[in-house]
Amino acid sequence: MLVFFAERLAFLSVPKTGTTAYHTALRDRADLVISDPPLLKHAPVYRYNRFIRPMFANVCNAEMELMAVMREPVSWLSSWYRYRRRPFMQGKPNSTHDVSFDEFVLAYMKGKRPGFADVGSQLKFLERQPNGTGITHLFRYEDQPRLQQFLRDRLAVPLELAQENVSPRLDTPLSADVETRFRRKFSEDFALYDSIPCD
């Protein structure tokens, strides 16, 4: 998470949406940088609302606008699947070395997910809270120019990004039947993604 106090902007880090590169590029420009532990670095809206927002509201009488990045849902799961197939994951409980992408997506769709498919939810991460706290600026991972232009304009800084924390390259075909079931079960995720403006 990055907070830019003067600009009243907090950049929340949805896992597997490329935000580590933005952290590296903008950490010296930010007023608050939370890079560890992961539970705070990747604090969702509900955790920001409970722990971070009161700090600024109560001490500084300031409200931040929240920004975040969302990835197309199938692509997001593909990135998680590939990330958990890194060589050093072989033999570990959360490894995906011994499952196909179809099996991974089917496991993700279960009510009680096995560890290797327990990767959270973009929808839950971004969910607006009862007090109105929610994402003000939401960007598609697949529309980097729009995201980068927003940051250049808002923060008045040049951006030089390097790829970081990248999942291994690997084809992850998804059968039509599994994709249909996934899209039906997670229709709200797709609806949110489709609602994000793009250039």
Mind listing the pLDDT tens digit for each residue in 99-114? 999 999 999 999 999 9
Tell me whether strands 9-11 and 2-4 are parallel, antiparallel or unpaired. antiparallel
Q: Are 75 and 141 a contacting pair, CB within 8 Å?
A: yes
How far apart are the C-alpha atoms of 65 and 11, rounded to whole Å? Answer: 9
Of 105, 118, 28, which is closest to residue 74 (Cα–Cα)?
105
For residue 148, give both structure tokens: 């980068």
In the Cβ-directed half-sphere of 155, how many Cα atoms lie within 13 Å?
Answer: 25
For residue 16, give both structure tokens: 């597997």
Q: Across the chain, which distance is largest between two alpha carbons, in Å?
A: 52
Show the domains of the chain with their CATH numbers. 2-195 (3.40.50)
The 10s digit of each residue's pLDDT in 133-157 is 999 999 999 999 999 999 999 999 9
Of the pLDDT bands very low, low, confident and very high (cuts 50, 70, 90), residue 70 is very high
Pure H helices in 109-196: 122-126, 144-155, 176-185, 187-195
Query: Could you give the 3-state DSSP secondary structure of residue 135?
Result: strand
Average pLDDT over residues 113-118: 96
